[in-house]
Amino acid sequence: DVKVTQSSRYLVKRTGEKVFLECVQDMDHENMFWYRQDPGLGLRLIYFSYDVKMKEKGDIPEGYSVSREKKERFSLILESASTNQTSMYLCASSLDRSTDTQYFGPGTRLTVL
């Protein structure tokens, strides 16, 4: 059974803190994605990765960075958290680049105070 896990369901951080959101998939997928979901804005792509140590910017990369040292793990990093980064963060993985289904994790609801 396909599984994508995220390190936390809920997280509360303070402005200026460095925040790590971890995502792990057990399907040997090549591709991994980070999205944020905000009311009225839908899912927006932050960063994605098509291979280990490879990363590409999505539509809203500002204020974020990512790390993919191992195939199964894709980390999203908020270098200095700000209140406008309060959001639901979703990780996903897929076998192929565009045509294959994306499998999503349960999401992390991050609140930055």
* Residue 39 vs 84, nearer CB to other proteins: 39
Which residues contact other proteins by CB under 8 A?
A: 4, 33, 35, 40-45, 48, 56, 58-59, 90, 97-107
Contact 107, 89 (CB under 8 A): yes
**What's the length of the chain?**
113
* Residue 81 vs 105, nearer CB to other proteins: 105
Gap between the terminal Cα atoms of the chain: 37
* Residue 31 vs 81, nearer CB to other proteins: 31
For residue 2, the one-letter residue type is V
Cβ 58 to other proteins shortest distance, Å: 7
Cβ 105 to other proteins shortest distance, Å: 6
Cβ 36 to other proteins shortest distance, Å: 11
Contact 74, 64 (CB under 8 A): no
Secondary structure (3-state) at 77 = strand
Cβ 101 to other proteins shortest distance, Å: 4
What is the distance between the alpha carbons of residues 61 and 34, in angstroms, rounded to a whole number? Answer: 10
* Residue 21 vs 81, nearer CB to other proteins: 21
